[in-house]
Amino acid sequence: MANVDLVIPVYNEEAILEQSVVTTLDFLDHHPEHRWRLVIANNASTDRTLEVARQLEARFPSHVVAQHIPVKGRGIALRTAWLTSDADVMAYMDVDLSTDLQHIRELIDPIADGRYDLSYGTRLHPRSQTRRGWKREITSRAYVFLLRYAARLRVTDAQCGFKAIGREAARALVPLVKDTGWFFDSELLLIAQENGYRLLEIPVRWIEDRDSRVRVLHTAVEDVKGIWRMRRGGIPRPAPGDGGPDA
């Protein structure tokens, strides 16, 4: 049994936050194999998201934590939540629950039992089941092509909002990630891969949220800039003794 912090980064999600949290807690109640905690990482929201998060924390004091990050960016939200956590395993998922919750155990268990350091969902594996619009599909596949051939990242999907990491790996890798936005995921995977960490890819069932806050083309442009930065600057290495794969 592991202590698991499941982070939900949110930006202006007052309309769906409560239902998503209640749905997730109900699912976790039926899986007592680990000790679960939901961390709502409010990411500079300008609506009532933080108020709703604090109400949920008061309603479920043993299972929900509301965390306020005043600077916008998924990367900075995850960096803050993961590096301030003392859980054995830290994960995150999108608030819209696009990824089927049935995959949570597949994400967590291989890290909790020490077989892998980082796990991530993929929507583009042949065994994945995905429903989304053609624009997002084409953009995702083009981006993965760039990652594989320009950055040498051996994944089928880097940007699925469904990932988990062990505590030691997080302490070593997350401080090396420079991006504070959407490229955070890709950069984390690339640094982990090139430093010999054990990565597990999980095909998932995923349904697109038509009300998503993600600006697909803008995000793609920022991701391409991130790839170029890493090609020029190289892959950083954890300092000796910082929890590397052979530590």
Based on the number of CB atoms within 10 Å of its own CB, is 196 exposed (0-12), middle (13-18) or buried (19 or more)?
exposed
13, 27, 28, 63, 85 from 24: Cα distances, Å: 16, 5, 6, 11, 20
Q: Is 185 a catalytic residue?
A: yes
> Of 29, 185, 223, 246, which is the active-site residue?
185
HEC readout, 2-64: CEEEEEEEECCCCCCHHHHHHHHHHHHHCCCCCEEEEEEEEECCCCCHHHHHHHHHHHCCCCE
What SS3 class is residue 173?
A: helix
Q: How many residues does the chain have?
A: 247
**Residues annotated catalytic, as ranges:** 185
